[in-house]
Amino acid sequence: MTNAALQFQDGDRLGRVAAVDTSRVLISVENHQHMTTIAVGNLIAIQGRTAAEFLIGIVERATRSVSEKLLLDETADDGSIPLGESQEDLIKAVLIGTYRTVDGSSSNTFKRGADCFPQVDRDCFHVNSKNLQQFMNLLSMKVKEGERLTLGHFMADQTAIAVANGDKFFQRHAAILGSTGSGKSWAVALMLERAAALKSANLIVLDMHGEYSTLCDGPNAIAQQYRIAGPGDLDKPDDGCLFLPYWLLNREEMLALILDRSDDNAPNQAARFTEHVRSLKEKVLSDSKKAEVLATFTVDSPIPYPLNGMIECLKKDNVGRVPGAKEGTDKEGPWFNKLTRFITRMETKVSDKRVGFMFQPPAMCSEYGWLEKMLGSLFSVSDAQRGIKIIDFSEVPSDVLPIVTGVLARLLYSIQFWMDKDSRHPLTIICDEAHLYLPVRDSAEAAEKRALESFERIAKEGRKYGVSLLVVSQRPSDVSRTILSQCNNFLVLRLTNDQDQSVVKRLMPESMGGITDILPLLDLGEGLLLGDSILLPTRIKLDKPKIEPASATRQFWTDWATQTPKPDAVSKAVEALRRQVR
Ligand SMILES: Nc1ncnc2c1ncn2[C@@H]1O[C@H](COP(=O)(O)OP(=O)(O)OP(=O)(O)O)[C@@H](O)[C@H]1O
Ligand SMILES: [Mg+2]
């Protein structure tokens, strides 16, 4: 038994179990000296059914009460019973796992969950110093070589490396949550860096502020940069520019952008639009002799069609006349004047340069073969650098952001869905600043609902097709509950807001509630990792990424003290604002 990870001496003994309920134990501390070293979050071990078994718990509360009582064992000189001070130390702990020094043929095993409830009067020990180090190392060693995702160090023992199970972390969706400036973007950069070391990682980052572009520059670049084309890119797009032409939007998404549901004629407008999309797509398919596609395509199939053709058809409807009852006369057609506002809204969108990446794409984007080239590069994993794709959304106007992210997510998911089972390569979509486009359903607008549908579908069904989400947000209370509740792993950094904390608490199993109390107290880059990727919910100090994202917190006071702003900075910014080019 000399290689057992936990080996307790008499001095490690805390006391004994005083009370037990389903997941918590109350320990009466007899070794009062230990009480001064016990802290919330420490580990304790309780002797299990055999000498080789210990139940592991996390300290939730430690209390000391001092009271006066009669010292029954003593008698004073005058024969009376003296009054003395009595001290009672109690520790409340949550049971989280079972450790065995030997378990059948294997040794040093740890599993989640208490296999049995401890009995009253069982011995309890403080897991500290060498025991703690060995135990923490044991947790990391339990993750198999190929599945190791090294994140940093355990706070409980800074010499022990914190390793999560990478398979489990990415398999069934994860979330990184924390207040602004708590270190989420750095944590993402760290994970990308770890993934880049793998042979063919496949991650797509939806980067809302262009923070991760640093990871794509220079000789040590680990990622490939893409950018949703801004107004300044429409004339001469470079290689990294990404267009999402209107014909990729399905009927619902397009209508969410253009249709005004409060218009009396909305049903007519939607119906005509749908009809024309179908016939325009049909014409393109028959012109290009795609008989197979023609036989089974639907109105939502991503097939390029001419937008000016659509506007022409709508205009024709809008002025169309039909033969009247009397021979030789005509009367207003069924859509006469009913589409005017719809057409205007569409024309406004088409001429708006801010959404030029959708409505003014270069001619090549209307070619039938363009889509496979575009998606081919997003799915490419030919080397580590290409496997991590960063898509900069910083120039996308916020009102269309949900639709745009939703369309992209839907496309990526659909490709995995329709791909041969054996050809699927797992893909993770990292949704940075998710509260911006994955809002809680009640407060979602029509356009946001469409985006939610795409992402919620991935959250619910993505696992089967090898697509997972990593949701990153500073406002968990504003992020779709459906998506968060599908996440199996949470890296929670400092979280100060009350509402956000309670959302996180509600996502945890009831017994873990107490552990989340430390969330507002965490330091920069320090987080709690909870979920099935790690055996024990643990507080981790995350490593710094080698390449930092461009999200540096500005040093206000120092900058004010030391820097002089450039004189033409404002006038340049005003011109950039006018031109909508950075
Ligand atoms: N692991 C770490 N170790 C030390 N410092 C860190 C660590 N992670 C983050 N920081 C510090 O915190 C700052 C903010 O981090 P980061 O940009 O990741 O925050 P964020 O949570 O993404 O904020 P926001 O929600 O506003 O995007 C960094 O500039 C850095 O100084
Ligand atoms: Mg950030």
Q: Are 375 and 414 in contact (CB under 8 A)?
A: no
Q: Are 162 and 183 in contact (CB under 8 A)?
A: no
Q: In whole angstroms, give the CA distance from residue 412 to residue 519.
A: 34
Q: In whole angstroms, give the CA distance from residue 203 to residue 469.
A: 10
Which amino acid, 326?
K
Question: CA 272 from chain center: how many Å?
Answer: 39
Give the model's pLDDT for residue 511.
67
Q: In whole angstroms, give the CA distance from residue 484 to residue 469.
A: 10
Question: How far away, in angstroms, is 518 Cα from ligand 2 center?
Answer: 21
* Residue closest by Cα to atom 3 of ligand 1: 525
Question: CA 212 from chain center: how many Å?
Answer: 16
Give the model's pLDDT for residue 510.
67
Which amino acid, 132?
L
Q: DSSP string covering 11-40, please?
A: GGEEEEEEEE-SSEEEEEE--HHHHTT--T
Classified as helix, coil or strand, 304 is: coil
Give the model's pLDDT for residue 296.
84
Per-residue pLDDT of 10-20, as tens digits, reads 888 889 999 99
Report the mean per-residue pLDDT for the chain: 86
Atom of ligand 1 nearest to the CA of 432: 27
Please provide the CATH number assigned to the domain covering 161-245+361-577: 3.40.50.300
pLDDT at 184 over 80: yes
Q: Using alpha carbons, select from 37, 55, 408 the residue that is nearest to residue 248.
A: 408
* Residue closest by Cα to atom 14 of ligand 1: 181
- As residues whose CB is below 5 A from the ion ligand 2, the structure lists 184-185
Q: Using alpha carbons, select from 172, 215, 258, 511 the residue that is nearest to residue 386.
A: 215
Q: In whole angstroms, give the CA distance from residue 353 to residue 235.
A: 11
Question: How far away, in angstroms, is 194 Cα from ligand 2 center?
Answer: 18
Q: Using alpha carbons, select from 399, 429, 434 the residue that is nearest to residue 416.
A: 429
User: Which residue would you say has higher pLDDT here, 262 or 243?
Assistant: 243
* Residue closest by Cα to atom 12 of ligand 1: 183
In this structure, the number of other CB atoms found within 10 A of the CB of residue 332 comes to 13
Atom of ligand 1 nearest to the CA of 541: 1
Over residues 134-158, the mean pLDDT reads 82
Give the model's pLDDT for residue 191.
93
Q: In whole angstroms, give the CA distance from residue 386 to residue 238.
A: 17
Q: Which positions ≥6 away from 128 have C-beta within 8 Å? A: 12, 37, 42
Q: Which positions ≥6 away from 163 have C-beta within 8 Å? A: 139, 140, 143, 148, 149, 150, 151
Question: How far away, in angstroms, is 577 Cα from ligand 2 center?
Answer: 24
Over residues 538-560, the mean pLDDT reads 86
Q: In whole angstroms, give the CA distance from residue 468 to residue 202.
A: 11
Classified as helix, coil or strand, 242 is: strand
Read off the pLDDT band of 473 (50, 70, 90): very high
Q: Which positions ≥6 away from 391 have C-beta within 8 Å? A: 204, 205, 206, 207, 226, 227, 228, 242, 408
pLDDT at 148 over 90: no
User: Which residue would you say has higher pLDDT here, 458 or 321?
Assistant: 458
Q: In whole angstroms, give the CA distance from residue 389 to residue 228.
A: 13
Give the model's pLDDT for residue 386.
66
Q: Are 135 and 5 in contact (CB under 8 A)?
A: yes
- Ligand 1 pocket at CB < 6 A: 178, 180-186, 474, 524-525, 542, 544, 551-553
Atom of ligand 1 nearest to the CA of 545: 1
Over residues 195-217, the mean pLDDT reads 90
Q: Using alpha carbons, select from 220, 162, 8, 26 the residue that is nearest to residue 541.
A: 162
Q: Pick from 179, 470, 551, 555 the residue to mutate for probing ligand 1's pocket: most ligand atoms within 8 Å of its CB.
A: 551
Atom of ligand 1 nearest to the CA of 543: 1
pLDDT at 383 over 70: no
Q: Which positions ≥6 away from 71 have C-beta within 8 Å? A: 81, 82, 83, 84
Question: How far away, in angstroms, is 426 Cα from ligand 2 center?
Answer: 25
Give the model's pLDDT for residue 1.
47
Q: In whole angstroms, give the CA distance from residue 356 to residue 360.
A: 4
Q: Pick from 155, 177, 179, 185 the residue to mutate for probing ligand 1's pocket: most ligand atoms within 8 Å of its CB.
A: 185
Question: How far away, in angstroms, is 503 Cα from ligand 1 center?
Answer: 22
* Residue closest by Cα to atom 6 of ligand 1: 525
Q: Are 163 and 550 in contact (CB under 8 A)?
A: no
Q: In whole angstroms, give the CA distance from residue 274 to residue 269.
A: 9
Q: In whole angstroms, give the CA distance from residue 203 to residue 190.
A: 13
pLDDT at 339 over 70: yes
Over residues 303-327, the mean pLDDT reads 84
Percent of the chain with pLDDT over 90: 23
pLDDT at 2 over 60: no
Buried b (16+ CB within 10 A) or exposed e, 285-295: beeeeeeebee
Q: Which positions ≥6 away from 57 have C-beta within 8 Å? A: 25, 43, 44, 45, 46, 93, 94, 95, 96
Give the model's pLDDT for residue 441.
77
Question: How far away, in angstroms, is 524 Cα from ligand 1 center?
Answer: 7
User: Which residue would you say has higher pLDDT here, 51 or 382?
Assistant: 51
Q: What are the Cα distances from residue 374, in Å, to 153, 353, 366, 390, 411?
A: 40, 21, 12, 14, 11
Per-residue pLDDT of 265-275, as tens digits, reads 888 888 888 98
Class of residue 72 by CB neighbours under 10 A (exposed 0-12, middle 13-18, buried 19+): exposed
Question: How far away, in angstroms, is 161 Cα from ligand 1 center?
Answer: 21
Which of 37-46, 138-147, 422-431, 569-578 is least confident? 138-147
Give the model's pLDDT for residue 257.
86
Over residues 215-241, the mean pLDDT reads 86
Q: Pick from 158, 176, 182, 547 the residue to mutate for probing ligand 1's pocket: most ligand atoms within 8 Å of its CB.
A: 182
| Nearest bound ligand to the CA of residue 552 | 1
Per-residue pLDDT of 31-44, as tens digits, reads 888 888 888 878 89
Q: In whole angstroms, give the CA distance from residue 438 to residue 522.
A: 26
Give the model's pLDDT for residue 520.
85
Torsion, Cα of 340, 342, 344, 350 (10° steps): -150
> Domain extents for the chain?
10-142, 161-245+361-577, 252-342
Q: Which long-range contacts link 327-335 to residues 24+ away (Cβ below 8 Å)?
A: 334/268, 335/268, 335/272
Which amino acid, 478?
D
Question: How far away, in angstroms, is 187 Cα from ligand 2 center?
Answer: 9
